[in-house]
Structure 1
Amino acid sequence: MAEHGAHITTASVVDDQPSIFEVVAQDSLMTAVRPALQHVVKVLAESNPAYYGFFWRWFDEIFTLLDLLLQQHYLAKTSASFSENFYGLKRIVLADTHKFQRLASAGLPKQQLWKSIVFLVLIPYLKVKLEKLVTSLREEDEYSIHPPSSPWKRFYRAFLAAYPFVNMAWEGWFLVQQLRYILGKAQHHSPLLKLAGVRLGRLTAHDIHALEHKPGEGSMKQPPASVCEKMKLTLKKVVGGAALSLSTGLSVGVFFLQFLEWWYSSENQETIKSLTALPIPPPPVHLDYNSDSPLLPKMKTVCPLCRKTRVNDTVLATSGYVFCYRCVFNYVRTHQACPITGYPTEVQHLIKLYSPES
C-alpha cells in the first residue's frame, strides 16, 4: 500500500517511472558506502601504518578503480548502476520508443555506457578531490605559509571566495531538477542522466526473467575450437566471477557499512565520548629518545626532520612528537602521515607549542 501511495505522489509522466523516494534512495546508497569504507581503511591504517598506510593515502584512487569495475559490469550486464539495480531500476535510452525498449540484460549501448561511467565514477572523484583541495587551501590560508602579497595567495583566496557560490549553483541545479521530477515536468531527477542520454525506469517481468536466465548452457556441450578460445573463455569466466563476487559481497555488506557510518558519525561519537573517557595511548616502545633509533635525534630540542634546533615548536596530536612548524606542516600536507610513527595525520592535528619565555 505504501509503495502505491508513493507512486501517486510523484505524478509520473511514464508508467514505469520510479518514484522520487526510489531514485533518492539509490543515489544515497553509493554515497553512504564511500565514508564507511574510508573509515574501515583509516582504522586499519592506524592499527598498522606500515602495511595499510598505502590504502589510506591512495583511498580515493583505489575506490574509484573498484567503482569503475563495478559500475561497468552492471551497466554492461543489467543496463543499470549497482545502486539502481539494487533497487530494481534500469537505464532506458531516450532514443528507444516505449514499444521497442531493449531488455536490461542487453546492456547499454557503448555511447550511453561510457557517458554513464563518466558521470557515475569520474565526476564524484573530481568532486571529492576538489573539496579536499579547497579544505587544504583554507588551512594553508589560515596558517599563512605564503607572504600576504604573493600572487599565488591572491589567486587561491579569490578561488576560495568563489567556490561556495559555484557549489551552491551546482547543488541548486540538482534541486531544481528533482522538484521538476516530483511535479511530473521532467523525466530525469538528475541532470547528469539527461546528459548521458538515458532515463530511469523499473525492471519489467521480461527484464527479470532475462537477467535470471543463463544463456549459453547448450553451447557449452562442445569444447572451443582452439586453445586461444579456451583461454579467452576462461579469462572471461574469471573476470565475470570476480565482478559477481564483488557485487554480491557489496550487496550483503552495504547495510553493515551504513551501520558503521551511523556508529562513527559525529553525533553518535559525541554521545560515546560523554559516556566514556578515552584512554591516553602509550608512546611507541621502539621509538625512544634513549634508544639507537635512526628516526629520532639524540637531543630533545632537535627537529627529527631537519636535524636542527627546533623553530616554532609544533606537536602532532596523533603521535605526540615535536617538530619545526614549517617542516612538519609541509611533510603532513604532502604525505598525510606522521614522519616518525606513520600514523594517518591531517594538518588540523598540528598544535603550536608556546614556551614560558615566549
Structure 2
Amino acid sequence: MEFMTNLQSGLDEQKPSLFELLSEQQLGALIPPSLRYLLAVATHRYPRYLLRILNSFDELYAFLSLVVERHYLRTYGGGFTENFYGLKRERVLLIKGGEIPRAALGAPDQVRETLKLRNSDIWKNLAVMVALPYTKRKLDEHYDIHAASANVLGPSFRGDALPDDATYRQNIFHYYKWFLRKVYPSVNAAYYFALLAFNLAYLFDTAKYHNPFFWLIGTRIRRMNQADHKAIAAAAAPAPPRPGAPPAPQSLLSPRTLT
C-alpha cells in the first residue's frame, strides 16, 4: 500500500529544494575567502615561508579542491559541502522523462548502481566544481585589473595601445585585454542570466537541473536515500579476515584488552 501511495502521489522525496542547493553553494563559496584570510594573517607573521603560497593561492586551492572533491565524489557520490547537506550527484538516464519511479521504489540498490557517477562523469563534475570556478575567479580578477579602469575612462584611454613592433606575447595580451573590455561583460551577464533562468525553472518544477552546466554534463543533485547510506557504510566497513590469518593486534585502549 505504501509503495502504491508513493508512486501515485507524484512527490519526489529525493529532489532537494532550491533553497537547500543555494545554501550549499553559499557554504562552498565561503571556503576560499576564509582560507585566504587565514593564510594572509599567517603570512604577516611568517612572510618568508608563506608569501609565495599566498601569491599562488588560487592555483593551490584549485589543486587541493581537485583532490578533495574527487575523493568525495568517488566515496560518497557528492562534493565536500554537499555531503554536509546529505546530497549526492547522479547521472540522468537518457529515457523519456528521465525517471524510473517504480524501479526506484522496488529495487533501490540496483537503481543506485545504475545512476551513480562513472569515472568519466566524475571528471566532468570536477570540471564544473573546480575548473569553472577557478576560471571565473581569474577572469573577474583580470577584469578588475585591466578592464574596469579603461571602461571608466572611455574612448580617450590609450594606455594599452599596441606598439608597431609588438611581440607575439604582447599581441596575445593586447587581445586578451580587448576581450575583457568588450566581450567579457556580455559573457558574464549571460552566465548569471542562465543561472537565474535554470534556478527559476527548477523552483517551479519545470526542469531537473538547477544549473546549466549540470544540464551540459547530464548530472543532477539528489538527496541521499537508505540505499546510499547502506552502500557507504558497507564500503567503510573493514574487510573480513582471511581464513587462517592471525588476529589483528589489539589497541591498548581496546575494551577487550582492558578487561
User: Following TM superposition, by how much is the alpha carbon of 1:147 offset from its aligned partner in structure 2, in angstroms?
Assistant: 5.9
Matched, 1:120 2:122: no
Give the gaps of 5 or more residues in structure 1: 1-11, 224-358
8 Å CA contact 1:74–1:80 kept in 2: the answer is: yes
| Residue equivalent to 1:79 | 77
Matched, 1:131 2:133: no
CA distance in 2, matches of 1:203, 1:133: 39
Supply the RMSD in Å over aligned alpha carbons: 2.9
Q: Which secondary structure does the structure 1 equivalent of 2:16 belong to?
A: coil
User: Following TM superposition, by how much is the alpha carbon of 1:212 offset from its aligned partner in structure 2, in angstroms?
Assistant: 2.7
| Residue equivalent to 1:92 | 90
CA distance in 1, matches of 2:195, 2:75: 28
Spell out, residue by residue over 1:46-74, the C-alpha distance to the aligned partner (whole angstroms, 9 max, x if none): 22221110111110111011100110001
Which of 215, 218, 235 is the equivalent residue of 1:194? 215
Which of 29, 33, 36 is the equivalent residue of 2:34? 36
Spell out, residue by residue over 1:130-179, the C-alpha distance to the aligned partner (whole angstroms, 9 max, x if none): 11221221377589794656586974346313322210111100110000
CA distance in 1, matches of 2:126, 2:242: 32
CA distance in 2, matches of 1:27, 1:47: 32
Distance 1:167 1:147, change over 3 A: closer
Distance 1:146 1:189, change over 3 A: same
Letter in 1 for 2:239: E
TM-score, scaled to structure 2: 0.71
Spell out, residue by residue over 1:250-279, the C-alpha distance to the aligned partner (whole angstroms, 9 max, x if none): xxxxxxxxxxxxxxxxxxxxxxxxxxxxxx
After TM superposition, the structure 1 = structure 2 runs for residues 134-283 of structure 1, keeping only pairs within 5 Å, are: 134-138=143-147, 141=150, 146=159, 148=161, 150=163, 155=175, 156-157=177-178, 159-213=180-234, 214-219=236-241
Letter in 1 for 2:20: E
Q: Which secondary structure does the structure 1 equivalent of 2:15 belong to?
A: coil
Distance 1:116 1:221, change over 3 A: farther
Q: Which secondary structure does the structure 1 equivalent of 2:220 belong to?
A: strand
State the number of aligned residues: 211
| Residue equivalent to 2:21 | 23
Q: Which secondary structure does the structure 2 equivalent of 1:101 belong to?
A: helix
User: Following TM superposition, by how much is the alpha carbon of 1:183 offset from its aligned partner in structure 2, in angstroms?
Assistant: 0.6
CA distance in 2, matches of 1:88, 1:70: 17
Q: Which secondary structure does the structure 2 equivalent of 1:18 belong to?
A: coil
TM-score, scaled to structure 1: 0.53
Between 1 and 2, higher relative CO (CA 8 Å, sep ≥ 6) is seen in: 2
Distance 1:44 1:179, change over 3 A: same
* Larger Rg over CA atoms: 1
User: Following TM superposition, by how much is the alpha carbon of 1:216 offset from its aligned partner in structure 2, in angstroms?
Assistant: 4.3
More helix by share: 2
Distance 1:49 1:197, change over 3 A: same
8 Å CA contact 1:78–1:107 kept in 2: the answer is: no
8 Å CA contact 1:92–1:201 kept in 2: the answer is: yes
Stretch deviating more after TM superposition (204-213 or 146-155): 146-155
Matched, 1:101 2:108: no
